[in-house]
Amino acid sequence: MIYLDNSATTKVLPCALEAAVNAMTENYGNPAAVHSFGKQANDILENARKDITSALGVKKGTLVFTSGGTESINWAINFAADKNKHKGKHIVSTKIEHAATLETLKALATKGFEVTLVDPERDGSVSLDKIKAAIREDTILLSIMAVCNETGAVLPYADAAKYMKQVNKDAFVHVDGVQGFMKINMPLDNVDFLSISAHKIGGVKGIGALYIRDGVKITPMLHGGYQDMGLRSGTQAVPQMAAFGAAAKYHAEHFAEDTARMDEVRRYCIERLSEIEGSVVAVSEHQAPHVVNVGFKKGRSEVIIRVLSDKGIYVSGGSACAKGKKSHVLLAMNRDPKAIDSSLRISLSEENTKEEIDIFIDTLKMAMKMFR
């Protein structure tokens, strides 16, 4: 099989699996227990926390484990809006955010918040000037993704965050770093919250984290036994945390060569896609190394995906969460309707090769012959 759907989820890395198994079968104590067996489990999860924090390159601040990107995003945005509601009601985000952000913002809009969503450009990028124009003195939250999951465009979140703080120092900045983590460098100056997820980087599904800037006192997500600094109570998922830590450490150690190799395969994929008549790739000036979004003048994503799938080649049409619906990202980019209907997202891991891309392209060429 050829798996080209790594933005949807990834295979668990061997080191992550080993760490999880160890925490389930050897060091399986309750990390809150007083005895030394419990302490060993606690050491494992605290080491995982350190490994993720150092992969993020931050020295201060708090990293709280969550159930994934979606929970981290909901938590950060809802807290920021609630905390600042007496200072203003205006929130800025973009039209190309993940549903976890857009739906949370939609819920806040029903509670009286005013949400401005910045349009992307036709190539998938988001203009810093447009974000700046949307930001006002009464903007209390900027929530923006670092890398778009559908197109791989890198957003100017760092400059937007800086500007947000200049205009209103009390405003919060949340960054959805789910697709950026371990794919691009993500400096976190002026960022109050960063959401990340383990299953996008070779960890296990069902675990993520929220990084909280030093000095920000967030309201707990769950009350209970005071685990995870009292911010998210409940017996901690040590196996998942250990796997997340191991995956983050692995990627931090191999970052330069893996991202360079992925970028080479991505460029090769774009080059080969150009052989297909009518193909249009969405590429902006700054792209992450792992995502290619292509559309055609004819064809339907579901059909192409099925034909490829029958041959053991797995890609997606836009985001996996959007099942069947037209992509809100491609719509916002004003892509040609035919290109939207036929769009494919090819997303790479460090393991994908140019040979796999060759097989994918040959099969895709065959699939495209079905459409007249």
Sites of contact with ligand PLP (CB under 6 A): 68-70, 98, 100, 145, 149, 176, 178-179, 197, 208, 321
Residue 208 or residue 299: which is nearer to ligand PLP going by CB?
208
Question: Residue 176 or 228: which CB sits closer to ligand PLP?
Answer: 176
Residue closer to ligand PLP by CB (options 150, 258) is 150
Q: Which is nearer to ligand PLP, 24 or 321 (CB)?
A: 321
Q: How far is the CB of 316 from ligand PLP (least distance, A)?
A: 10
Which C-beta is closer to ligand PLP: that of 42 or that of 287?
A: 287
Q: How far apart are CA 84 and CA 82, in angstroms?
A: 6
Pick between residue 74 and residue 139 the one whose CB is nearest to ligand PLP. Answer: 74
CB of 194 to ligand PLP, least distance (A): 11
Minimum distance from residue 148 beta carbon to ligand PLP (Å): 7
Rounded to the nearest whole angstrom, what is the least distance from the CB of residue 83 to ligand PLP in the complex? 22
**Is 15 labeled as catalytic in the residue annotation?**
no
Task: Single out the catalytic residue among 15, 148, 269, 321.
Answer: 321
Tell the smallest beta-carbon distance from residue 195 to ligand PLP (Å). 7
- Give least dist CB 66 to ligand PLP, A: 9
Annotate 320-334 with b (16+ C-beta within 10 A) or e (fewer).
Answer: eebeeeebbbbebbe
**Catalytic residue list:** 321
